[in-house]
Amino acid sequence: MKIDVEYLEFMWPMRHFLITCGNIEGKSNIIAISFCMPVSKEPPLVACAIGKKAYSCKLIESTKEFIINVPPKELKPQIYYCGFHSGSQVDKFKETGLTPQPARKVKAPIIDECVAYMECKVRQEIEAGDKRLFIGEVIEAYADKALVKRERNVKYAKGDFPKKIYGTRFREVQD
């Protein structure tokens, strides 16, 4: 027998990412996202779905650049802070204590406490319900040397959206 379900339950857990956008010398911001996936290997494209009302959506629309920062599990409190507050009202670098560092090619900063980085240029934007889908070309990708050389073991942040954001709370993920 098959019964109707809240379909998203079967798509969790998802990895959590911190996207940085804006300009390190001006206004920059951090948004927590999980709706993020690779879509093409050649050219290297990734897709990120960002709420149309998010401040980050406006920043990425205007700069056409963003960075996917890969956070370790330990940064979950900062991920939640960035997912519950808007850069239109707070400075998330200041409030979380996360450290901005210059990126290689994109004007937004990277987050020093993260372990890997994908600097992206927006190649396509698609209206997708309450989100705007940004397809970005990865123009630079780099990571913590110890992690790449397998001298450092990192557990990544993953799970579901907190109930406050998505209405339904699913199982906690244990790893």
End-to-end CA distance of the chain: 31
86 binds ligand FMN (CB under 6 A): yes
Site for ligand FMN in 107-126 (CB under 6 A): none
Maximal C-alpha separation, the chain: 58
18 binds ligand FMN (CB under 6 A): no
Cβ neighbours, 10 Å, residue 165: 13
Question: Tokens 């020093």 label which residue?
Answer: 112
CB of 85 to ligand FMN, least distance (A): 6
Name which of 65, 82, 64 is nearest 17 in CA terms: 82
71 binds ligand FMN (CB under 6 A): no
Name which of 69, 71, 62, 43 is nearest 135 in CA terms: 43
87 binds ligand FMN (CB under 6 A): yes
31 binds ligand FMN (CB under 6 A): yes
With respect to ligand FMN, which residue has the nearer C-beta, 87 or 109? 87
Among 18, 20, 46, 55, binds ligand FMN (CB under 6 A): 55
**Torsion sign, CA atoms 105, 134, 54, 84:** negative
28 binds ligand FMN (CB under 6 A): no
**Where on the chain is the footprint of ligand FMN (CB under 6 A)?**
16, 29, 31-35, 49-51, 54-56, 79-80, 82-88, 131, 161-162, 165
